[in-house]
Structure 1
Amino acid sequence: MASSNGATKNIRKPKPWKHPQPITMSQLSKMREEFWDTAPHYGGQKEIWDALRVAAESEEALAKAIVESAGIIVSNADLTLCYDERGAKYELPKYVLSEPTNLIQDN
């Protein structure tokens, strides 16, 4: 499905960002799991959250296909703000979409 203006935006990774403190991949993974486990409790449909998770973890071309097939309206091309066809809002933090610039090695 296309957004209301008839065109689906190209999806891209968020601009480089920095976590407040240096973070390891295992810490980042834990934060991501906690977000995805609690995301449906913020409203919206579980199916849309599931589609957004797969899109967030996919390459950009596949992410675009997933978003289109789920009828997700992309407000920000980096997927940080999306809506479903009923108007429910879905906000994704950058840490579920890409790695920070200050990612450090696990010990």
Structure 2
Amino acid sequence: MGCAGSTQSQAEGPVKKIRKPKPWKHTQPISKGELVKMREEFWDTAPHYGGTKEIWDALRAAAEADISLAQTIVDSAGVIVQNNDLTTCYDERGAKYDLPKYVLSEPTNLVEES
């Protein structure tokens, strides 16, 4: 895929269209502030799990964007989407990127802060 006119070959398989994760529930009710803190901690430590910082940055941008923009981001970064909800992805070198659902969507048991 070197030039602007090239297309994905059949050997590479179909491009997976990303979607929002299915509804999920945290182990206990969690506030928006706690969720934001968990997300920040994950993104701060994510590059230490392997892979490249550039791909982690692209995955963060995709996780925080709406679906159509997220699709453009992962396609542009060369991210290979294993699970349509972005929980498992690979880069072009084969490094695996696992994203927890809490960085991709909000839980069903999100509570108001008091």
TM range (shorter): over 0.9
Aligned residues: 106
Matched residue, 1:34:
41
* Structure 1: 4+ residue segments shifted above 6 A: none
**Over residues 49-88 of structure 1, what are the superposed CA-to-partner deviations in whole Å (9 max), with x where a residue is unaligned?**
0000000000000000000000000000000000000000
Structure number with larger C-alpha Rg: 2
Matched residue, 2:5:
none
Percent sequence identity is 72
RMSD: 1.3
Residue identity opposite 1:84 in structure 2: D
Residue identity opposite 1:49 in structure 2: W
Matched residue, 2:105:
98
Matched residue, 2:88:
81
Structure 1 residue 104: Cα displacement: 0.3
Structure 1 residue 106: Cα displacement: 1.0
Matched residue, 2:27:
20
Q: TM-score, normalised by structure 1?
A: 0.95
Q: TM-score, normalised by structure 2?
A: 0.90
